[in-house]
Chain A
Amino acid sequence: MKKVTSSLLALGTAAALSLGVVATTQADDETIQAAFVYVGPVSDHGWSYAHDQARLAMEAELGDMVETTYLESVSEGADAVRALERLARAGNDIIFATSFGYMESVGEVAERFPDVKFEHATGYQSGENFANYNGHFYEGRYVLGKIAGLETESNTIGYIASYAIPEVISGINSFMLGAQSVNPDVEVKIIWVNTWYDPPREAEAANALMDQGADILVQHTDSTAQLQAAQERGLRGFGNDSDMGAFAPDAQLTSIVNNWAPYYVDRVRAVADGTWETGSAMGSMESGMVQMAPFANMAPETQAVAEETMAGIIAGEIHPFTGPIYNQDGELVVAEGEQAPLDMILGMNFYIQGIDDAYPN
């Protein structure tokens, strides 16, 4: 028996090592235990970093009310199921799973642990104890599009994309709608790197795009490598998920900054009050979830346009997906003067007209 226990222990230690567990001390019953699952390392300075910053901000605001734990670099798929299950068994009251690819895993584990609240970022499924939350990040990408459209000299934008999921597709479309609105000649070259986080590969993709004439880079991946690659060549680009200016002070035009903290504070507080309910939450530029890093390295006129656009989005006067919008086949998908319904944006599966690239299947 002893042997079994010790080998189990060893196994547990190995798993803990490989997952990078950071556990906090045991808390009494009053304290809410909140756990976070990240797809990348918290040090990516991108997506997972932004979630972890929000976790820390939430901890700071709620003080003794909450104890937090996180697992980083958890692969989507079987690993995610194991990680979620372990966190649920460990007595957590609420678990935030912060990547689209965790959706099925969260659904599966949530069914088995009806007393634990599950929160899934950027997905579309939900259940009794399984809520999802997201931000209208495409609003930020529309602003990036305006800046890129005004600042590009080669009229070629390089776009480094991760996976062909609706969130990324709607980001590309929103970006191009912004760019086309100020520059009808703008073209985009898209590279899918099939990873959220692989700095050398992202740098290689950035170099390939610049070799093909792109003078501004956009990324929908999580590392800072492409901005650095742009800086090295004296070109410019946008960060993603957090302010990456420190890595490329001469290259970063701005960056979409994800601010999840208010949402995490609300949800944990709701668990404490017993008022937690499932649902689909949507943050936006107006609610403060979608923010922008300081504008830099651009002409004052461009900055003025960017600021106006932001103000317009916040005031509700500008909606990136306002018709007429045509798809690549030239069919009208959003009629003149109308706005794309939220379902279309969240499930977007087509490119808009003007993207000269095959839609990835």
Chain B
Amino acid sequence: MLLEGILITIVGAATPIVLAAIGELVVERSGVLNLGVEGMMIMGAVCAFGAALATGNPYAGIVVGAAAGVGMALLFGLFTIYLASNQVATGLALTLLGLGLAGLIGEDFVGTPGVRLEAITIPGLSAIPFIGPALFDRDILVYLSFAIVAGVAYVMFRTRAGLVLRATGENAEASHALGRDVRLIRLAAVAFGGACAGLGGAYLSLALTAQWTEGMTAGRGWIALAIVVFATWLPGRLLVGAYLFGGVIILQLHGQALGINVPPQAMTMMPYLATIIALVILSRNQALMRRNTPAALGRAFVPDR
């Protein structure tokens, strides 16, 4: 019972981070660094909550949450890709904008119980001991998070579209010379990243806690960003990193409840520390790091320059 409970909560803690991080991975693979994940995520959370409340349908919330993330991402794309503004500064501004705007939009939602996203039980599989309830008796966003990671891994490394995306992130000029529309490719990647961040936010306000509260992302967007880098831009490792992070979050809570004598500050630090250490070890392989780091990351591309 306890183990099942732990696994269930670990999946809950990891899912929003998986969603936000896999989107950012695609963005960065296209050569764009969007530091606005936190802002897109919280906009996703507030818009998903509002739409679910207005329609009474959490699935409408999911769609609107993703759309809100896309909207924010397109704003970012307009500035950084078409107007070639500084990606770091614009991304930070996007986070600040998102946090403020979400607070404004959400003012009336505060104190209102939300609509909860119900689980969809997969018959058979959900009866597997331990992992069944944690993985196969969940809401659609949990299933979607795995599907997106698998889809990204496949498209990125097994299809022509993925090759084009990666080429654009490695060398935008070369991709341009080959006749690719670098800016459109990057905009599409940024929009995808926004949709995923929006879904991650929607998970917070529809599934993890059916409520809207200001600042409820509480830094999860930044964790997602860090995990992308430490996962050396590889989807599989990203999944490992996010689950490791979620796992340590939950285990440190259980450790405390069991009365393990470690200072609570150190316990709270553990998820960050464990994730960074594990992923630093994973990314010690310099050749792998070099091979996977998008060479054009963070550099604006202007076609006529």
A interface, CB within 8 angstroms of B: 14, 17-18, 20, 41, 43-45, 73, 158, 164, 189-195, 197-201, 203-205, 207-212, 214, 223-225, 228-229, 232, 246-247, 356-358, 360-361
Q: Which residue on chain A has the smallest CB distance to residue B219?
A: A198
**Counting CB contacts under 8 A, is B268 at the interface?**
yes
Question: Chain A residues near B1 (CB, 8 Å)?
Answer: 211
Docked-complex contact A358 and B261, CB < 8 angstroms: yes
Q: Which residue on chain A has the smallest CB distance to residue B95?
A: A18
Interface residues of B in 110-161 (CB under 8 A from A): 110-111, 113, 116
Partner of B113, one of A190, A214, A229, A247: A247
Q: Give Cα distance in the complex from A158 to B257, angstroms.
A: 8
Q: Which residue on chain B has the smallest CB distance to residue A212?
A: B257
Nearest CB of chain B from residue A254's CB, rounded to whole Å: 18
From known contacts A192-B267, A194-B264, infer whether A204 and B259 are also in contact, taking CB-CB under 8 Å: no
Docked-complex contact A41 and B215, CB < 8 angstroms: yes
Docked-complex contact A43 and B110, CB < 8 angstroms: yes
Q: Give Cα distance in the complex from A348 to B96, angstroms.
A: 39
With A41-B214, A43-B111, A198-B216 given, name 6 new contacts (CB 8 A): A208-B250, A208-B254, A211-B1, A228-B113, A247-B111, A247-B211
Docked-complex contact A203 and B208, CB < 8 angstroms: yes
Docked-complex contact A207 and B9, CB < 8 angstroms: yes
Q: Give Cα distance in the complex from A207 to B5, angstroms.
A: 8
Q: Give Cα distance in the complex from A224 to B250, angstroms.
A: 19
Nearest CB of chain A from residue B277's CB, rounded to whole Å: 20
Question: Chain A residues near B263 (CB, 8 Å)?
Answer: 360-361
Partner of A45, one of B111, B116, B268: B111
Q: Give Cα distance in the complex from A198 to B208, angstroms.
A: 12
**Counting CB contacts under 8 A, is B181 at the interface?**
no
Docked-complex contact A18 and B96, CB < 8 angstroms: yes
Docked-complex contact B261 and A208, CB < 8 angstroms: no
Docked-complex contact A205 and B107, CB < 8 angstroms: no
Q: Which residue on chain B has the smallest CB distance to residue A44?
A: B213
From known contacts A17-B96, A223-B213, infer whether A193 and B268 are also in contact, taking CB-CB under 8 Å: yes
Docked-complex contact A189 and B257, CB < 8 angstroms: yes
B interface, CB within 8 angstroms of A: 1-2, 5-6, 8-9, 12-13, 16, 96, 99-100, 103, 106-107, 110-111, 113, 116, 204, 208-211, 213-216, 218, 220, 249-250, 253-254, 256-261, 263-265, 267-268
Docked-complex contact B204 and A360, CB < 8 angstroms: no
Q: Give Cα distance in the complex from A228 to B116, angstroms.
A: 11
Nearest CB of chain B from residue A99's CB, rounded to whole Å: 15
Docked-complex contact A199 and B264, CB < 8 angstroms: no
Docked-complex contact B259 and A212, CB < 8 angstroms: no
Docked-complex contact B204 and A211, CB < 8 angstroms: no
Docked-complex contact B213 and A41, CB < 8 angstroms: yes
Partner of A208, one of B208, B253, B259, B265: B253
Q: Give Cα distance in the complex from A199 to B261, angstroms.
A: 25
Question: Chain B residues near A224 (CB, 8 Å)?
Answer: 211, 213
From known contacts A43-B213, A190-B257, infer whether A204 and B12 are also in contact, taking CB-CB under 8 Å: yes
Question: Chain A residues near B260 (CB, 8 Å)?
Answer: 358
Docked-complex contact B214 and A43, CB < 8 angstroms: yes
Question: Chain B residues near A199 (CB, 8 Å)?
Answer: 209, 211, 213, 216, 218
From known contacts A17-B100, A20-B103, A43-B107, infer whether A208 and B257 are also in contact, taking CB-CB under 8 Å: yes
Docked-complex contact A204 and B13, CB < 8 angstroms: yes
Question: Chain A residues near B113 (CB, 8 Å)?
Answer: 228, 246-247
From known contacts A73-B214, A208-B9, A361-B263, infer whether A203 and B209 are also in contact, taking CB-CB under 8 Å: yes
Docked-complex contact B100 and A211, CB < 8 angstroms: no
Question: Chain A residues near B253 (CB, 8 Å)?
Answer: 191, 193, 204-205, 208
Q: Which residue on chain A has the smallest CB distance to residue B3?
A: A211
Nearest CB of chain B from residue A64's CB, rounded to whole Å: 27
Q: Give Cα distance in the complex from A229 to B107, angstroms.
A: 23
Q: Give Cα distance in the complex from A162 to B211, angstroms.
A: 20
Docked-complex contact B100 and A20, CB < 8 angstroms: yes
Question: Chain B residues near A228 (CB, 8 Å)?
Answer: 113, 209-211
Question: Chain B residues near A225 (CB, 8 Å)?
Answer: 209, 211, 213
Question: Chain B residues near A229 (CB, 8 Å)?
Answer: 209
Q: Which residue on chain A has the smallest CB distance to residue B97?
A: A17
Q: Give Cα distance in the complex from A246 to B215, angstroms.
A: 21
Q: Give Cα distance in the complex from A20 to B208, angstroms.
A: 26
Question: Chain A residues near B99 (CB, 8 Å)?
Answer: 18
Question: Chain B residues near A194 (CB, 8 Å)?
Answer: 264-265, 267-268
Q: Which residue on chain B has the smallest CB distance to residue A205?
A: B253
Q: Give Cα distance in the complex from A199 to B217, angstroms.
A: 9
Q: Which residue on chain A has the smallest CB distance to residue B259?
A: A357
Docked-complex contact B264 and A164, CB < 8 angstroms: yes
Question: Chain A residues near B116 (CB, 8 Å)?
Answer: 232
Q: Give Cα distance in the complex from A232 to B8, angstroms.
A: 14
